[in-house]
Amino acid sequence: MFSNKKIVYVFVTLGNESLKETSKSFFDKIFKKKQTAAPKKIINDIHPLSERLIFSIAKHTDNKCLSFYLNLENTHEDFLNLINEANAERYYIFPLFPQYCNQISFIANYFSINISDKIIDRFFWIKSYHHHHLFIKSIERSISNLMKKDNLDQKNTLFLFAASNSSKENSLYLFECENTSQKIIKSYPYVEGSLHYYPENLQTLDHLNDNHRKIIIIIPISTLINDEETQESLKSIKDYLENQKKNVFICNTLNESSFFIRSVLDIIEEKNYLTNKMLLTLS
């Protein structure tokens, strides 16, 4: 007789600060290093948006769903208690970053410091899903809905893939962002594409002036959440391009995609995993 394994899903992200401002200051605190950096701006809306997404995913499973926010230190004690109380046979960790970025290793490092080896050995991280067909299809659906709604012509359209530059020094992250962009654009034979890492100098977009296409769709690919920082960055890009006489649209992030929300558990169940120890070797 076989018993069903007790499974817990853990959705991880940073919290209320931007990706760029996160990890070093947090781990300086852990190891009691002196802080000299100026105070950072706090972005206050990523937590409720992430919780809303996780709640929507949880509707599709009977397994417990937990959330972890690296920068929200006041939530850590409750999270650790819930992890210990769950006593699950497997914990599946789903990052809210589609591509591998350095912050994932910082979260894995926090787990290794604060959770017993007995439990950590049951942690299975969902490998980067930057190329997964359900992730790609979800973005394509959002793009196609936008193009249909505004009656946009492929032959006059350019896709501007927008990715955070928080892990731009990581070659794996760069490769995965490029791979995501290439896979998406293959479904649109008459569209051209470009990749921009925000919030880099907007003048790096000036090469688009030489392109005759007047319609630009900005497509965020490195986050699932349209938090305030992401919105501000994408709006800055939009305003800059509109000043160059382009007709600019912004594609929704996937926290607004019911198709993607239904697909998350399918991505998890494909069992393409990394262990906590494996992630630490990538940091």
What lies within 8 Å, CB to CB, of 164 at 6+ separation is: 19, 20, 101, 197, 198, 222, 223
172 and 243 share one domain: yes
Residue 2 lies in a domain: no
115 and 252 share one domain: no
Token look-up 């492929």 returns 154
Q: What pLDDT is recorded for position 16? A: 61
Tell me the residue type at 259. Answer: F
| Full residue range of the structural domain in which residue 184 is found | 133-256
101 and 148 share one domain: no
Give pLDDT tens digits along the chain (283 positions): 344 679 999 999 987 644 344 444 444 444 344 344 434 444 446 789 999 999 999 999 999 999 999 999 999 999 999 999 999 999 999 999 999 999 999 999 999 999 999 999 999 999 999 999 999 999 999 999 999 999 999 999 999 999 999 898 999 999 999 999 999 999 999 999 999 999 889 999 999 998 999 999 999 999 999 999 899 999 999 999 999 999 999 999 999 999 999 999 999 999 889 999 999 987 6
114 and 187 share one domain: no
CB atoms under 10 Å from CB of 53, counted, come to 24
The answer to whether 223 and 96 have CB atoms below 8 angstroms apart is: yes
Total domain count, the chain: 2
Residue 222 lies in a domain: yes
CATH number for the domain harbouring residue 213: 3.40.50.1400
Token pair belonging to 213:
């296409």
- Strands of the sheet containing 215-220, edge to edge, are 192-198, 157-164, 215-220, 247-250
Residue 1 lies in a domain: no
Q: Please give the share of the chain, as a percent, with pLDDT higher than 90.
A: 81
Tell me the residue type at 85. Answer: E
40 and 87 share one domain: yes
49 and 97 share one domain: yes
114 and 14 share one domain: yes
